[in-house]
Structure 1
C-alpha cells in the first residue's frame, strides 16, 4: 500500500521529462552536443526530484542520488532539494526533510539544495512557502536564484523575451529591493539554457534587458557556463571580452560554480577550463577565494551579507588578473 502511494505521489508531483526537451522549451539550438548536455541536465534534475518524492526516507533517496553519473549528480541533488521542499511545504513540515537532507549527504551539495527550494516555491501557492528564518541567512538568497531560474526556464517569453520582473517579491519581508537582484541571478543562469549554451546568443539576450540588470544576469551566465558547461575556451574568451564592465560579476558566478563542484567532489575538466578563462586561475584557487571571503550573516543585514560576498569576489577578479599572489 505504501509503495502504491509513493508511486501515485510521483505521478502527481513529478513533471514529464519531455518538459525539459530543448525543442519543447523553444530554446536556441547551437549544436547536438550542447543540446544533449542541457537535456541530460534536465533529465537528471527530474530524476533527483523523483527520488525525493517517492523514497521512503531521506537516506533512501540519498543512496539513489549517489548512483547518478558524477557530472550530473549536482543537478539531481538540486532536484531532490525541490522534491523534499515540496513535500515539507505541502505537509506543513517546517522543512524537516530538507534539514535532514542538509545534515546528510546534501551537506556537500548545500548550494544546489537551496536552489531547489526556490524551484519548489515557484510551484507552490505563497501561503505554503517556508519561513525564511528556517534557512541560513546567507544562503537563502540562492532560493531566489532557483525561483528566478524556474520562471525564466518555464515562462521564457515573459521573463526573458519581455524582460518582465517579478512584482515586489516580499520573501523574506523587508528585502524586496534586493530580492529583485537575486532573482536576476537565476534568470541569468537560465539564459545559458535558453541560449543553448551559445555565448553569443546569451549576450544578445542580456543586452535586451535594461543595463541596470546586466551585472546580475552576467553573474548567472558565469555560474551556468562553469557548472553546466557547453562552451569551448574560444567561446568563453569571447564572452569574457564582451562582458566588458561586467567581467567581475561574470567571474563571481564562475567562482560560485567552482566552489559548488569542489565542495561536492564533482570537479570536471569543463569547470576547470571555464574558471581558467573567466577568472584567470584554477578552480581550486577560485573556490578558496569564495571560502575566504564568505561572511557571517544575519537576517537583518542590509544589503544582505550575500551581496557583500558577491562584491568581494567580483572585485578580486574584476581586472581578470587572477587571484592575488
Structure 2
C-alpha cells in the first residue's frame, strides 16, 4: 500500500490520462485511425509513473507492472523509471531507486527505462542531471545506451512543447553527456523523430513532411527516430510502412537503423509483437533474427571519442550492415526492390 507521502506525490506530480491524448495536445494525428492505439502508450507511461511515485517499495511497483500486458509493459516501466529518477532527485541525488529498478526488474526493459530517465530530465534542472543516470555496472548496455535518456528528453519536449520543439525547430544548447557535448543535440533529434510518429498519428505522409521541414543536417537523426517508433510502437499497416520507406529516400539506412534498435529492444524484453516483425520486414527487409544479429554483431561499447560516442559508432556500424545486407540480398527476397 502507498504511504501518505506517496499519495501526496501521486496527486501532485502525476498527469491526467487525458493530458496525453492527441486531441488535448492538438496533434494533427488526433483524427488518425491509429490514435487510440498510440495514445495507450503514453497512458501506460503515466500508469507506471503513478505506481512508481507512490509505492512504498520496489516490490510493490514490480508487482503492479507485472499485471500490465506484455505489449505495454515496457512503456509502463518507462514511467516507473521516470518516477524513480524523480524520487532520487528529491533526495538530492543520493537515492538508489533508479539503480535498483534498472538493474532489477526493469533490466529486460533497459532500453525503455533509459528513456524514462529522459522523461525525468525534462522536468529536472540541469544541475541535477549528472546524478540522474545511476551507475549500472554489470549491465552490458551501460553507459553506451544511456544516450537513450537524451532521446527520451527530446521525445518529451517535442510531445509536450510541440510548438517550440517541432514547429519552431528549437535546438537545445549542448550538454556534456558522457563527455560528448556536441552530440547532445543529435540524440535529442532522435527523440524528436520518435515523437513525430505520435504527433502525426502514424501517418507516413504527415511524418515525412514534418521531417522535411527541419534543417537538412537534422533529418538523418529524425529518420532514425521515426524508424524506431514505427517498429516498436506500431500503428501503421503494411501499405503505409511501404510508403514510409519510400519517403525516407536517401535516409533509408537511418530508418533501418531505428528498426534494428527497436527489434533489439523488443527481443531483449522477450516480446516481439506482430506489428514489429512486420515493420522489420517492410522497412528494412529484415527478419527479427537478422535484425538482432546485426545489432549484436556490430555492438560497440568502448573507443568513443569527444566528438563521437561509442553509441554513435554502434549506430554507424548498424547503418553500414543494413546497407550491405540490402545490396547483397537477392532482389526476389526483398520486400521492396
Aligned pairs for 1:215-234 within 5 A: 215-234=220-239
Aligned pairs for 1:6-85 within 5 A: 6-29=6-29, 31=31, 33-85=33-85
Alignment-derived partner of residue 296 in structure 1: 301
Residue deviations 1:69-117, cap 9 Å, x none? 2111111011111111111112124451111112211110001011111
> 156, 160, 168: which is aligned to 2:162?
156
Distance 1:288 1:272 in 2: 14
> 143, 147, 166: which is aligned to 1:141?
147
Distance 2:171 2:152 in 1: 15
Q: What secondary structure does 2:122 align onto?
A: helix
> 221, 239, 243: which is aligned to 1:238?
243
Deviation at 1:134, TM superposition (A): 3.5
Residue 323 to residue 227, structure 1, CA distance change in 2 (3 Å): farther
Deviation at 1:55, TM superposition (A): 1.1
Deviation at 1:173, TM superposition (A): 6.9
TM-score w.r.t. length of structure 2: 0.91
Can you give the 5+ residue segments of structure 1 that lack an aligned partner in the other structure? none
Alignment-derived partner of residue 255 in structure 1: 260
Q: For the Cα contact (< 8 Å) 2:193–2:224, is it kept in 1?
A: yes
Q: What secondary structure does 1:139 align onto?
A: helix
Q: For the Cα contact (< 8 Å) 1:281–1:322, is it kept in 2?
A: no
Aligned pairs for 1:171-210 within 5 A: 171-172=176-177, 174-210=179-215
Can you give the 5+ residue segments of structure 2 that lack an aligned partner in the other structure? 137-141, 331-337
Q: For the Cα contact (< 8 Å) 1:247–1:319, is it kept in 2?
A: no
> 254, 279, 284: which is aligned to 1:279?
284
Deviation at 1:30, TM superposition (A): 6.5
Alignment-derived partner of residue 119 in structure 1: 119
Distance 1:36 1:227 in 2: 16
Aligned length: 324
CA RMSD of aligned residues (A): 2.1
Q: What secondary structure does 1:321 align onto?
A: helix
